[in-house]
Structure 1
Amino acid sequence: MKKLYIPFIFLLLMCFSSCVDIEERYDFKPDGACNVVYGFDMSKAVSVLTNLLTDSVRDTPQFSLAKDTVLNYYTALPDSVTQKMNADEAKMAQGSELGVKMDLKNSVMKVSIMHDAKNAADLQYYLQHINSLSMNGELRRVTNSKETANFDAQPLLAGQGYYNYEITPHKFYRIIDKDKFNAFLKKVGSKFAMAKAMLIDMPYKVVLNFAKPVKKVDNSKAVLSADRKSVTLVTSMDEVMKNPALMNLKIDF
């Protein structure tokens, strides 16, 4: 059983960073503040892989891990890291939280990154720098698990680094930088290919809720709600890899 268990864990941890359902959610407030949540649901990958195991392996203590908690980024970081931060980096970390919901036995593995932006400038800074946040140490601290020590969560955030943003109190624009996107694909393309070979879909959903009606949306796939206060874009990483422009958004409100 041990011979089967070890390669399974290795494969599971490799798949975690690509076999995900991704959801970005933006909730804009009347005063210009915005709550941002990046959700990564890896439960499908866990379910597919655990089905390959025997009952005896699934009953091991390692697969009894369960956690549902939220951790503030800044307070979790060691002094050696916070002392190197500038004022803006410290502010971003202080306003960010890492949520983990994990129950391997029931095929549940969800990670969320949350941030409360005070205004448009704060939101733009956060979105342009979120990929610099390190998750690995914090994730292990949340789960108290040796298994998560090898979970490379950084690719989940690295994908947010290929956008150019322009955000004001009345508009939300983001355009994919093709050079940065191609560099991202070189790093994670093999993992996406492995997920596709395992018939694991990677849905990508973006939801933006506004406090005032939207005047204009420049994206043919985006759906505007009846009250014109919500924009939803649903696609998949497979589609995005074929046509990155699908993720471009220009919203005036």
Structure 2
Amino acid sequence: MTTATLTPQEGVHLRLGGVIGGEWKKMWSVKSTWIIYLIAAAFALTFAGITAHTYNDGQMAMWDNPMSLILGPVSIASILIAILAILTVTGEYGTGSIRPTMTAVPGRLPVVFAKAAVNAVVVFVFFALVSLVMFYVFTTMTSGTDIGALSLRDDQVLSTLFHYSVASAYYALLGVALGFLLRNTAGAITFFVAVVMILPDLARLLPWEWVDTAMNYAPAQLVGPLQGFESDVSMGAAYLGIAAWLIVAFGFAGLVVKQRDV
């Protein structure tokens, strides 16, 4: 993955707005960004269509929040985008293009903030639009059934669309933080998939109740309430937990970026 670099004139340092603009241009200058976003959208929409095609009237009653049935594929597509977020950081470390960026921004922390802000906004908007299209595709294909009668004015519909988009942006932010912490593509992706996504579910198999309770507050488990799944964690507590994990992740990422050579 190759990226453009920020190459200011000698003695000229970029302000935060310029750094954000530079990160925006770098993100969209890479072909893999467009490809991965298109794959994520195609995956989510395809599986929404498949689910709608196989839907039987009355199944909606089996779900606490029927929007979880419609938007389920977003959860998997979000992991793909989180991996892309990792690559936006580790790709620069791998090619060495991070050096001129840090030279242009000697404070370094604005680079972390800019990458996080650009990824979060793009991912949120992307999945908000994809989720909206998925909703219309699903309800159109299931017209005449209970779930096909849903509209944007119904309870939980717009709020769930919003929460799913927030959850996707949260995964991307974790990816950015891991990228800065580990600086290695394979290591960061492995950590995200194995430790963040899989390990908490495996830990629940242990015969101790306190472990099961603690895992409710693991980074990936906190998105459950946002996505309409049954959880012992309230929506408010989930958002507080997400905020706490992001503060911790970017706190350590900031320390690493400030203290380690590039």
| TM-score bracket for this pair, using the shorter chain length | 0.3 to 0.5
Considering only CA atoms, is the larger Rg found in Structure 1 or Structure 2?
2
Give the structure-2-normalised TM-score: 0.32
Which structure dedicates a bigger proportion of its chain to strand?
Answer: 1
Give the structure-1-normalised TM-score: 0.33
Which structure dedicates a bigger proportion of its chain to helix?
Answer: 2
